[in-house]
Amino acid sequence: MENEILLAKTTIFVKSLLESDSSGHDWWHIYRVRKMALLIAKAEGADMFMVELAALLHDVDDWKLTGDKAGNQQTEKWLHSCGAGQQLIERVKTIIEGVSFKGAGVNTSTKDPECSVLQDADRLDAIGAIGIARTFAYGGSRGRGIYNPGIPPEMHSDFENYKKSNAPTINHFYEKLLLLKDQMQTPTGRVMAEQRHQFMLRFLDQFYAEWNNEPI
């Protein structure tokens, strides 16, 4: 029961925090990731409570939204204010820290079962039709162009360079989105990623065909 109250309170907190976001990291992203994470957690036998709590809070301190300033502080402060113990707070922080993509050449694989589940759920929301929509929304929010044939994609081998990138959004497909299918941590995630991956390839084919005025 205590866990349910914490989840309910956290839902209200995160919703109010991210409701007006327009960079693709809005409340509905959290809503989908939570749903997907619970589905994968069930199939993989992970701790449902930990997965749900971490899913709700996973973007609250994300570098893309906070500009890296706040670190993990909002999550910690929130859980602390709800009376959560230090052990629980540390566990949630550990799961969340393992979730984020940090560049094409940066290894973010994990053996932590709850982190694996959440990482897959978050990355599934970054690919497929929703992933495409979110990617352009994010690019727009950062002042990035749609496509520039003169700027080739870059494979970032460290997180700092990846964060600094200001390339057109189409490049992001090669620098991140198309790589995610092979980085899925769970069997359930791998199956779901495959279909979404194929859809992105079809999108790119159509995009270039239209760009070059070629038959589709």
Binding site for Ni ion (CB under 5 A): 59, 122
Return the SS3 of 46.
coil
Q: Which is nearer to Ni ion, 124 or 170 (CB)?
A: 124
The residue count of the chain comes to 216
| Shortest CB 8 distance to Ni ion, Å | 21
Distances, alpha carbon 13 to alpha carbons 8, 46, 97, in Å: 9, 24, 20
Q: Which is nearer to Ni ion, 70 or 207 (CB)?
A: 70
Q: Which is nearer to Ni ion, 31 or 207 (CB)?
A: 31
Q: Which is nearer to Ni ion, 141 or 207 (CB)?
A: 141
| Shortest CB 106 distance to Ni ion, Å | 17
- For 129, phi then psi, to 5°, come to -60, -45
| Shortest CB 130 distance to Ni ion, Å | 12
Query: Residue 118: which of 24, 209, 194, 32 has the closest Cα?
Result: 32
User: 132 with 74: CB under 8 angstroms?
Assistant: no
| Shortest CB 29 distance to Ni ion, Å | 6
